[in-house]
Structure 1
Amino acid sequence: MLKWVVVAAALVAAPFAASAQDVEAGAGVFKKCAACHQIGAEAKNGLGPSLQCVAGKAAGHHEGFAYSDAVKNSGITWTDENLLHWMEKDDAVIKGNKMIFPAGIKNEEDRVNLLAYIKSTCKE
């Protein structure tokens, strides 16, 4: 029985693990975000805050951006899990935030690739 549980877990995890390495695909997905956000060493705030090195930081951390009270007071840290959930449905993570992206990124592989891209640009 244990053997089948291990096999099933490996089959479920394999697509997720493989897609986590697709930084190039994540750069393509980022185009959906680029209307409001910048990323990279010279990234600036725009309609949304810079996403440079956002992973692992507290929500509402980027200096110079006027975050909603909901984000500033959320106590959220941008873990991989929180970022992936936010990309899918931001208002489910922090209700009352002012991000306007109701469609979210529904495809799990796209979210994983986007996260890989965002994390790959951080050179702190």
Structure 2
Amino acid sequence: MKPLLLLLLLAVAPAGAQTDTTTMPEGDPERGRLVFGQCRTCHYPEPEVGHNNGPSLYRIFGQVAGKQPGFAYYSETFRNAQFVWTPQLLYLWLADPLAMFPGTTMMARGIPDPQQRADLVAYLKRASVRPPIEEQVQE
């Protein structure tokens, strides 16, 4: 949508119709695991698997974007990045990766549903601190 058209639509929309797209709802990691299925084509959250077509997402929070050792396929946008991934930033990024960081090589076009994004973030938080299910069963 053209930026001017978007501004006009927001200006004439009733105040109650405008939604806050920056506030992340409470996420459910189990639902997030299901949402992550579409991400698994390129990413893994398990430490023992490592990188795929995209960088590993194990312990993504607190990492500087575009700097994971062993992953050589970052876009110029991410190679030059100077920010640290937080749950809130990932939530915003997942809405529309190309709009937030033009030039990204990420092929997914985003997850428009705010609840699905929050669920995915909750899953990645949990996956970064809990051992894989196979290890939990053996304990």
User: Are residue 38 (structure 1) and residue 44 (structure 2) matched?
Assistant: yes
Q: Give structure 2 stretches of 5+ with no counterpart.
A: 1-19, 131-139
| 1:24-103 matches, cutoff 5 A | 24-66=30-72, 67-102=74-109
Give the superposition deviation at 1:81.
2.0
Give the superposition deviation at 1:71.
0.3
Contact in 2 for aligned 1:82/1:93 (Cα 8 Å): no
Alignment length (residue pairs): 107
The TM-score with structure 2 as length reference comes to 0.70
User: Are residue 122 (structure 1) and residue 128 (structure 2) matched?
Assistant: yes
Q: Distance in 1 between matches of 2:57 and 2:108?
A: 15
Larger radius of gyration: 2
Give the AA of the match of 2:101: I
After superposing on structure 2, the runs of 4+ consecutive aligned residues of structure 1 that deviate more than 6 Å are none
Q: Give structure 1 stretches of 5+ with no counterpart.
A: 1-11
The TM-score with structure 1 as length reference comes to 0.78
RMSD of aligned C-alpha atoms?
1.9
Instruction: State percent identity of aligned pairs.
Output: 34
